[in-house]
Chains A and B, each alone.
Chain A
Amino acid sequence: MKPSLAFRAGLLSLLLLVCLLGLWHLATLGGTQAAAPAAMTAEQIEYAKLMGKPIDATPVAAKSGFPTLAQMGRTVVHHLSEPFYDRGPNDKGIGLQLAYSLGRVGLGYLLAALVAIPLGFVIGMSPLIYRALDPFIQVLKPISPLAWMPLALYTIKDSAASGIFVIFICSLWPMLINTAFGVAGVRREWLNVARTLEVSPLRRAFEVILPAAAPTILTGMRISMGIAWLVIVAAEMLVGGTGIGYFVWNEWNNLSLPNVIFAILVIGLVGMALDLLFARAQKAITYVD
């Protein structure tokens, strides 16, 4: 019997991962070999003395260059062994930084949902409001959320709140548009059933339109979450202070590529987890017609 598709796909993924790691290993092997035996020039010795560093220390290139797999592994273990430490503003555990980012995304996203879903409902139900608001939405939608940052900083006068505002504005549009689209597309026959049964407007909204439009609304929420997680990194690089985006920027300033690579991996994994969460929710509320 042939092994299942999932098993074979998993095997292939594993093989690809091994290949990538192998390539990484080979590529960094040459770099460290070349860097290590290179004797320091007179100028380098002079510079090292000037900086108060020992002359026989490992060359800078090997330390701050692209890490080998072993160095990367040590970095990962180091971060994961103590994810929540806090030693001042520039030295916090990766877990703590993630918590800051997730908190911002959560808050901005929730605010956006509170605005977008009711407003989307109204837009979807009323062709008049849909037409009236459409030009605004079309103009505001393509604006990069980061372009709002200066305006937010000026008006809100608080960098933390500005970060949340940026998340709010970027997660607003997909939710708003999908909610309106889902609500407007509710089958006429279901609405007619509600009409012949003299269902009250409130009950019609919650028991007919909402469940009928829920899959479309959730698709919008999933897109929004994806965008919010993309934007938070950039926003935190700008705002600074805390968060995974700030961590990346900080480690770039430290020229610590292992930490940057580790942060990149973490961002990817968290993004994937968030998306999976929404995929689950979507599966739960999608109906087969």
Chain B
Amino acid sequence: MSTELVQVQGLAKRYGDATVFDNVNFTLTEGEFVCIIGHSGCGKTTILNVLAGLEQASEGHVFMAKREVNAPGLERGVVFQGHALMPWLTVRQNIAFAVRSKWPGWKRAEVDKQVEKYVALVGLTPALDKKPSQLSGGMKQRVGIARAFAIEPRMLLLDEPFGALDALTRGTIQDELLKICAATRQTVFMITHDVDEAILLADRILLMANGPQARVAEIVVNTMPRDRERATLHHDPQYYRIRNHLVDFLVERSATLSHGRAPEQPPEVRPGLTQTAEILPLDTHPAIHRSTA
């Protein structure tokens, strides 16, 4: 049985009277890949920043390996939305900057070895000594991913890393990410807007209701085999069941569950396998009864 790595308890963010989200509860298990989906403005990025320690929540706590998270740390690697590479450094220097932060005592050769290993992992060895401005958008994002992986964090946080990329590039990098995560059993928490991306990459998908007072309304367990591939994904009938469930949520239920109408403890659902949770009408939803009780 895998262990719980991260607990998020009763997280809330308010600006004055406006509550962006509240009562956000979920856990992350060691080695699992979790995606969070929701409309813009529901606070996904804020939740990720709180997990990263870059922002403080108004209420609630985040625990990682039984320690409370309240500052950024090297055990959590972050891939930023806009790659955030330092343009005056080459690819090698950018990643070496991170590696030297994690292991300050390392000699040059050790740093180089670590850098080269992770650059090779994202297939950028030929661009090792180029500046970011000489790279395409997709290559820059790969460097960002390599930098986050190179410090070997316990958890990786990705803030919509492929949002700015074209569909083809996105596909290739998704494949690479899938490969690396499968090989390293990395715990990943990722924001995405792309339903297909979530189904391809995630073991569990957190569905977030709209703001104000957004919540994680439901957790979809990805019931497809873990060795799924982008090319054959859509041949599996299960794929459409999950996809329809996600799209239905985003189109309709995310709006009806705004203003704190979503349950505080999100139920786990397995679309297409157990047809219980999602067909219950809202007022008889077990989770809602629990929260009002």
Contacts and interface: CB of A to CB of B under 8 A. Distances in A.
B131 A288 contact: yes
Interface residues on A, range: 10 to 19
Given A207-B97, A211-B86, A287 B131 contact: yes
A189 B72 CA distance: 13
A190 B84 CA distance: 6
A211 B131 CA distance: 14
B51 to A, nearest CB: 11
Interface residues of B, number: 23
Contacts of A196: 52-54, 72-74, 76-78
A208 B85 CA distance: 11
Given A189-B84, A198-B73, A287 B54 contact: no
B15 interface: no
Nearest to A197: B101
A15 interface: no
A195 interface: yes
Contacts of B72: 192, 195-198
Interface string A204-220: 00011001101000000
B270 interface: no
Contacts of A193: 78, 80, 84, 86, 98
B84 A192 contact: yes
B276 interface: no
B123 interface: no
Interface in B78-99: 78, 80, 82, 84, 86-89, 97-98
Nearest to A198: B74
A289 interface: yes
Interface string B213-234: 0000000000000000000000
A195 B133 CA distance: 23
B102 interface: yes
A192 B82 CA distance: 12
A288 B78 CA distance: 24
Q: Which 3 A-B pairs have the closest CB atoms?
A: A288-B133, A197-B101, A189-B84
A199 interface: yes
B97 A197 contact: yes
A189 B87 CA distance: 12
B151 interface: yes
Interface string A260-289: 000000000000000000000000010111
15 contacts: A192-B84, A193-B80, A195-B53, A195-B54, A195-B72, A196-B72, A196-B77, A197-B102, A197-B151, A208-B86, A212-B88, A288-B87, A288-B131, A288-B133, A289-B133
Name which of A189, A197, A208 has the most chain B CB atoms within 10 A of its CB. Answer: A197
B198 to A, nearest CB: 24
B158 to A, nearest CB: 13
B80 A199 contact: no
A197 B74 contact: yes
Contacts of A199: 101
A198 to B, nearest CB: 5
Interface string B13-53: 00000000000000000000000000000000000000011
Interface in A46-69: none
B86 A190 contact: yes
Interface in B169-191: none
Given A195-B72, A198-B73, A287 B87 contact: yes
B65 to A, nearest CB: 17
Interface string B128-142: 000101000000000
A200 B20 CA distance: 33
B14 to A, nearest CB: 22
Given A189-B84, A285-B88, 18 more contacts: A189-B80, A189-B82, A190-B84, A192-B84, A195-B53, A196-B53, A196-B72, A197-B97, A197-B101, A197-B102, A197-B151, A198-B73, A198-B101, A207-B97, A208-B86, A211-B86, A214-B88, A289-B87
